[in-house]
Amino acid sequence: MVNLPPDSTQLTGSVVRELAAECGFDLAGVAAAGPAPDFGRYRAWVDAGMAGEMRYLTDHRADLRADPAELLPGLQSVISVGMLYSGPEPCSVDMTEPERAWVSRYAWGDDYHDLMRGRLKKLAHKLCEIRECEWRACVDTAPLLERSLARQAGLGWIGKNTCLIREGVGSWFFLGELLTTAVLQPDLPPPDRCGTCTRCIDACPTAALTPYQLDARLCISYFTIELRGMIPENLREGMGANIFGCDICQDVCPWNRKAVQTREAAFAPRDFAPDLEKLGAISEAEFQGMFRSSPVTRAKYAGFLRNVAVAMGNSGLDQFREPLRRMAEYPNAVVAEHARWALSRLSGLEQAL
- Which residues form the interface with ligand B12 (CB under 6 A)? 38, 41-42, 45, 54, 57, 104, 106, 139-140, 144-148, 158, 161-164, 171, 173-175, 192, 212, 214, 216, 219, 221-222, 225-226, 245-247, 249
d(CA 72, CA 310): 43
Give the integer Cα–Cα distance in Å for 257 and 280. 33
Give the span between the Cα atoms of 243 and 273, in whole angstroms.
10
The minimum distance between CB 348 and ligand B12, in angstroms, equals 27
Q: Does 208 bind ligand SF4 (CB under 6 A)?
A: yes
* Catalytic-residue membership of 111: no
For ligand SF4, the binding residue among 194, 276, 299, 308 (CB under 6 A) is 194
Considering only the stretches 35-43, 114-122, 244-252, 315-323, report the one whose residues sit in contact with ligand SF4 under the rule CB under 6 A: 244-252
Q: Which of 38, 63, 67, 140 is catalytic?
A: 140
Binder of residue 206, out of ligand B12, ligand SF4, none (CB less than 5 to 8 A by kind) = ligand SF4
Strand blocks (E) in 27-67: 27-32
Contact status: 246 vs ligand SF4 (CB under 6 A): yes
Could you tell me which of 21, 15, 17, 19 has the C-alpha nearest to residue 29? 17
In the complex, the smallest distance separating the C-beta of residue 111 from ligand B12, rounded to whole angstroms, is: 11
Which of 127, 151, 142, 90 is CA-nearest to residue 273? Answer: 90
Chain center to CA of 100:
22
Residue type, 115: L
Give Cα 117 to chain centroid, integer Å: 16
Smallest distance from the beta carbon of 322 to ligand B12, in angstroms?
A: 30
What residue 278 binds from ligand B12, ligand SF4, none (CB within 5 to 8 A, per partner kind)? none
> 333: closest CA among 296, 292, 305, 300?
305
3-state secondary structure of 25: coil
Catalytic residues: 140
Residues that bind ligand SF4 (CB under 6 A): 159-161, 194, 197-200, 204, 206, 208-209, 214, 219-221, 246, 248-249, 252-255
